[in-house]
Structure 1
Amino acid sequence: MASGAIEVHRHDSALGQWQVALRQPHAALRAHVAQLWHGAGQVSYQRDRILPQARSYLLINLGPPQYMFLPGPPEIRVVFDDIWFSGLYEGPIECAAPQGSVLLGVAFSAGGAASLLPWPQAELANRTGPLQDLLGPRARQLRQRLLETPSVAQRLDLVEDWLLAACISGRNVHPLVHWALARLADSAGRVRAEALARDAGCSRKHLTTLLSRSVGLPPKSLARVLRFQHVLGRLGRQAPDWAQLAADGGYYDQSHLIRDFQQFSGLTPAAFLRSAQPDPGSVVVR
C-alpha cells in the first residue's frame, strides 16, 4: 500500500500528555481525504471546544468513553464510545475525555465525504452522531477489528482498506462543486457567493443548491468558515492589529470579524488569545 510515512507528535505540558500519529492517505484517497490520525493520552483540563473547519470527520473511539455536550438549557451530555461521523459545522463542538482517550480519525476534504460515501451531506451538516445508524453492522465490524489490532500503523492501514473497499461509492459530484470548493479554498473564503456564481455562469440559487447537497453547507457559510480559519492561522499569542487582520481576511470591518469569531469559537478574539490551545483546531474552555 503506497501510503505516506507516519509522523508522530508527542505533547507533555500542564495541559496533559498525549501522542498523535499523522499520516497522509493512500494515493487513491488523496482527492477526498485530507489526513488520517491516531491519538492517545490524557488531558488535564475538563473540556475543550473543537473549532469548525471546512472538513467532515470519521471518528472511531478505541478507548474510554468520551463526551459531547449539546447546549441547553438544559445541557445534554452525549456519550461517544463507538464510531461516529461529524459533518461540516458552523459552530464549535464542546467535548470532554475525563478518563483519557484513544481516538482514530479520518478528516475528509470539504467535498470528500460526498465523493466517497453514499450519505446525504445536507442532512449531516451541523450534526455529529453514530455511524452505525448509517452503515449498520459494517461500522461495528470495523471498530472490532481495530480493537483487536494493537499496532497504530496497522490500524491506519485497516481504515484505509475499509475506505478503499467498502466506502468508495462511485458517486459523481457535479464538477461545479469541485470548482467552487477550489475557488473558496484558494481565496481563503474571500470570494463572495455572488461573484462565485457569476464566474461559474449560473445563478447563486443553483450553486447554493449544489454545494448544500454535496457538501452540507452553502457557499456563503463555507466562505465564513474558511475566513475564520485563515484568521486563526495568522494569530500569534499577542494581540494583533485587529482592524488590519479583518481587512486582510476579507471582513467588512473589525466588528464583522468579532461576530464571526464569537459564533465559531464561542469566545471574543481577546478571550480566545487568553485561552490555552491543545492544538490549532481546539481551545480549552474549562
Structure 2
Amino acid sequence: MNLKPAQTGYVELPLGALDATRIEAVWRYDAMARGSQLVLPDGRMDLVVHCALHPDGSVATVWPVIAGPADQPALVNTRLATVIFGVRFHMGWGGACLGTSPGALRNRTAVGSEAAHILGPLALQPLVQARTAQGVEQALRCAARGLASRAAVAPAQGRALAAIERMVRQGHALEEGGGRWAGPSSRTLRRDMAAVAGLPLRTLAGILRFQRAMGLLQAADTSLGEVAAMAGYADQAHMTREFRRFGGFTPAMPTPAPVVQRTPCQR
C-alpha cells in the first residue's frame, strides 16, 4: 500500500535559523476530520502546541504538550478548527534541551502545570499569548531556539549520541561489546542511553528500522519482501512482527500515519 503523507494532514516546515544539530524538524498538523490520528513511535521528544481556532482563523485557545520518547503507537484525538505545531528534537537531544529526564516521559505526555514547569515562563508566555496561527509558530520557534541554546552536553550524552549516530549511519543495531562496536562497555552504554534517550539502544534500532520500512512503503510500490530486505529485517516474517509491535498493524495493511524520515544530525 502506497500511503501519501498528505493523507494525514502532516507537513514538515523549513528549520530556518534553528539549530539543526539539536532540532530535527518543525512540523504542522491540520486535522482532516474529527476523530483520532495514529501516531507512530519514533524515539524522539517533541514540543507540541495545540491551537483551537475561531471561525475567523484567530486563535481561541493554546495548550502546550511535551511528548516523551515512545516505543509504542498511540491515538491522538483530533477535531476540526484545530492546528497543531511541533518541534521534534533529534534523538537523544530532547531531554537536554527541555531540561527533563526522557525516561520520566517514556510513552506519555506532559500537559498543564507539568508542561508549564518544564518550559518555564520565558518559553510559555509567548506561546499562550499568540493570537494567530502564524504567531504561535513563531513563538514556538523562538522557544525552541532558546531551549536548544541552553542544552549542555554531559559525557554520558556525548557517548549516547555517538552510538545513535553510528547506528543511524550503519543502518543496524550496534553489537555492544562485539566486533563492530568499539565504544563504551555494554553496561555503560545501556546506562547512557536510558539517561539520554529514555529507551534502550536495541529498541531505538527497532524503531529506526520500522520507520525506514514505513517510509519505503510510502515512497514506492515495492514488494513486501523487498521492503523487508531494504529496511534491514531478517525476513518478511520478522518485519511483520515488528510492525505489529511498533504500529499495531501489518505491512500488508498499514494505517495512514506521519512517518519520520530520520537522517544523521548535521555537524
Regarding TM over 0.5, the answer is yes
| SS, match of residue 241 in structure 2 | helix
User: For residue 128 of structure 1, what is the amino acid of its counterpart?
Assistant: T
User: Where does 1:253-268 land on structure 2 (aligned, <5 Å)?
Assistant: 253-268=235-250
Q: State the one-letter code of the partner of 2:49.
A: I
Specify whether residues 34 and 162 from structure 1 end up closer, same or farther in structure 2 by C-alpha distance, changes over 3 A only: same
Aligned to 1:212: 194
Q: What SS does the aligned partner of 1:62 have?
A: strand
- Choose the corresponding residue for 1:34, options 24, 28, 45: 24
Which amino acid is the alignment partner of residue 191 of structure 1?
A
Contact preservation (8 Å) 2:97, 2:147: no
Q: In the superposition, relative to structure 1, how do residues 124 and 25 fare at CA in structure 2: closer, same or farther (>3 Å)?
A: farther
For the Cα contact (< 8 Å) 2:40–2:72, is it kept in 1? Answer: yes
CA distance in 2, matches of 1:96, 1:227: 27
Partner of 2:74: 93
The gaps in structure 1 that reach 5 residues or longer are: 1-9, 65-79, 282-286
For residues 242-264 of structure 1, the C-alpha deviation after alignment (integer angstroms, 9 at most, x for no partner) is 33332332222222111110111
Question: Are residues 1:146 and 2:137 paired?
Answer: no
| Number of positions where the alignment pairs a residue of Structure 1 with one of Structure 2 | 247
Provide closer, same or farther for how the CA distance between residues 120 and 100 of structure 1 changes in structure 2, counting only shifts above 3 A.
Answer: same
1:182 is matched with 165
| 3-state SS of 1:227 partner | helix
- SS state at 1:270 partner: coil
Listed one character per residue, the Cα deviations across residues 32-78 of structure 1 (whole Å, up to 9, x for unaligned) are 111123444x42363221111132111111217xxxxxxxxxxxxxx
The CA distance in 1 between the partners of 2:68 and 2:153, in whole Å, is 19
TM-score (norm 1): 0.73
**Does structure 2 retain, via aligned residues, the 8 Å contact 1:87–1:124?**
yes
SS at match of 1:34: strand
| Deviates most, 115-124 or 170-179 | 170-179
CA separation in 1, counterparts of 2:115 and 2:179? 33
CA contact (8 A) 2:39 2:73 kept: yes
2:14 maps to 1:23: yes
Aligned partner letter, 1:94:
L
* Contact 1:197-1:203 within 8 A present in 2 as well: no
- CA distance in 2 between counterparts of 1:207 and 1:255 reads 30
Per the alignment, do residues 157 and 99 of structure 1 end up closer, same or farther by CA in structure 2, a change over 3 Å counting? closer
Q: Which of 224, 230, 241 is the matching residue for 1:248?
A: 230
RMSD: 3.2
Aligned residues of 1:60 and 1:105 also touching (Cα < 8 A): yes
CA distances 1:107-149 after superposition (whole Å, capped 9, x unpaired): 1110221331211112222222216315439557755533543
Aligned residue for 2:58? none
Q: Which has the higher strand share?
A: 1
State yes or no: 1:125 paired with 2:114: no
Gaps of 5+ in 2: 54-60, 261-267
Normalization by structure 2: what TM-score? 0.78
Q: Which has the higher contact order (CA 8 A, sep 6+)?
A: 2
